[in-house]
Amino acid sequence: MPNAEWACDQRAAARVRDTLLAVGYTAEGVLERVGPAAFDGLARGLTVPVRRALAAAPPAGPTPVLDALITLFLLGERAPADVLPSALAADLEALGLVGTDAGGIAPRLEVRPYGEPDTDWYLVADLGAPADATHVLGAGGASLTLARITPRAAGGRALDLGCGSGVQVLHAARHIDSIVATDTNPRALRCTALSAALSGLPPEQLDLRAGSLFGPVAGERFDLVVSNPPFVISPGHRFTYRDAGLPGDALTQQVVRGAAAHLAPGGHAAILGNWLHVVGADWRERVAAWVTGTGVSAWIVQRDAEPVADYAAAWLRDAGEVDGPGFDAALHDWLDTFEAMRCEAVGFGWVVLVAPGGEDPGAPWVHVEDLAHAERLPTGEEVAAFLAGCAWVEALPAPALLASCARLAEGATITRTEVVGGASATALPPRLGLAGMVGPGGWRPGVPTHPALLAALLDPDDTPVGERLDAWAQAEGLEPIEVLGPVLTALRELVRLGIVRTV
């Protein structure tokens, strides 16, 4: 029984869940109690505004149990022994969430209300700043990024590699039949079990297994693999949730290649990672090579890249290191490691994999891009649509594309920009987008579009797009090939993004 070791008392968890919901210990209830500014501050570790809000009685009258739960599980402070109903206190203690002594009730773990707009979940993690190697982190920025971008098909089996507090498990449970969650840290498996139970997941939906990387799932296949692994490239192995403990970006590489090998036909993987920018090498080629030979297709996105000194300093500060001689010595250590690998910057992003489907294997493709200037993250649905667009374009050879009649999709937008310098203004190539999705307010900038293609798209007829481009080139006194080259790249991107349809 893989679950038995980490199991918690499901009945006690259900009773606690009912009580937490009844007293309004939910994301919405806490927001209402402490106010939006204090609530937002909590996510940045600011607890004083919450304390001040609790000190003031709410307009609707006192809420002692809610206030005690906020004090215990969000501020990480003791509460008086008599403030919680005794049955609730007993269940919380039985689950290992609090301890009681002469000084009152003391929190043992963080229990943070969490959810999607129509759900109330709880995430169980360690309280406070990371102090030791086995610290279990709650949902951070990376966790939320992964939860958002994951493409979510209904049904099947999922694997969450490195489950931590269980945040990815909760999201997957909404659409996946059964989830295997793994971690090397037994305390993380216990937190995931508690998060799942307090969030009302049926215990049979979750299979918790201890072990490293794909060891616990050897020979198994999944319809979805998600992983926010400990991808940080550092000199040591200080925190299990953070440090890869393998040289350079080998851990991210191993998770990507392992996920590819464990996907069922048509399955998806969404993996966050860091990668080296090695002097003299193109990061795009390095990361794309991780997928070579795996037989799956990949969309590799870099969201940001930081020079190594900034990267190291940010992680040192994140771990509570304050400026001074200790900080400088540690920074030297990190920079020595990067220098030995001839690494000048570290990229952060995601790799989404798609295994070929059973009936239509298709040739695997790899699409690599830098989305540093995107205004927002794509949703899982947008990711799924983009993956389908990539597969469609891959199967469409250039002659077939040029022989089709290109049409702007419904919702297509044009953004025209002029750069004003002194008395003159220079028009930049117009960008085509898709309302709210691509271009202003979208998950990626609009696609710069050649005037020949724009003319054909804005004044459509039944002439194949290739002929329209030839005619435009001749009218401008250009060789068609001078136009076709740059136009084909943009046209393929427009079709991938669903801005242009081929008919």
Ligand X SMILES: C[S@@+](CC[C@H](N)C(=O)[O-])C[C@H]1O[C@@H](n2cnc3c(N)ncnc32)[C@H](O)[C@@H]1O
> What's the rounded Cα separation, in Å, for the pair 292 and 147?
26
Which residues are CB-contacts of 11 (< 8 A; sequence separation ≥ 6)?
Answer: none
Residue 292 in the binding site for ligand X (CB under 6 A): no
In the complex with ligand X, which residue's Cβ is closer, 120 or 243?
A: 243
Site residues for ligand X, window 241-260 (CB under 6 A)? Answer: 241
Helix (H, G, I), strand (E, B) or coil at 232: strand
DSSP secondary structure letter of residue 423: T
Site residues for ligand X, window 437-476 (CB under 6 A)? Answer: none
In the complex with ligand X, which residue's Cβ is closer, 166 or 356?
A: 166
Site residues for ligand X, window 103-142 (CB under 6 A)? Answer: 137, 139
Phi, psi torsion values for 251, nearest 5 degrees: -65, -45
Among 50, 53, 88, 146, binds ligand X (CB under 6 A): 146
Among 12, 188, 465, 487, binds ligand X (CB under 6 A): 188
* Residues 165-184: x where in contact with ligand X by CB under 6 A, - otherwise, as a string: x-xx-------------xxx
In the complex with ligand X, which residue's Cβ is closer, 143 or 302?
A: 143
In the complex with ligand X, which residue's Cβ is closer, 146 or 453?
A: 146
> What's the rounded Cα separation, in Å, for the pair 333 and 316?
11
Which residues are CB-contacts of 16 (< 8 A; sequence separation ≥ 6)?
Answer: 88, 91, 92, 95, 97, 198
> What's the rounded Cα separation, in Å, for the pair 201 and 205?
7
Among 229, 267, 356, 466, binds ligand X (CB under 6 A): 229
Residue 490 in the binding site for ligand X (CB under 6 A): no
297 and 391 Cβ atoms separated by less than 8 Å: yes
Count interface residues toward ligand X (CB under 6 A). Answer: 23
> What's the rounded Cα separation, in Å, for the pair 184 and 209?
9
In the complex with ligand X, which residue's Cβ is closer, 164 or 466?
A: 164
Phi, psi torsion values for 374, nearest 5 degrees: -70, 145
Which residues are CB-contacts of 349 (< 8 A; sequence separation ≥ 6)?
Answer: 272, 273, 275, 300, 301, 302, 303, 304, 371
In the complex with ligand X, which residue's Cβ is closer, 65 or 147?
A: 147
* Residues 189-228: x where in contact with ligand X by CB under 6 A, - otherwise, as a string: -----------------------xx--------------x
Residue 159 in the binding site for ligand X (CB under 6 A): no
Residue 230 in the binding site for ligand X (CB under 6 A): yes
Report the interface residues with ligand X, using CB under 6 A. Answer: 137, 139, 143, 146, 161-165, 167-168, 182-185, 188, 212-213, 228-230, 240-241
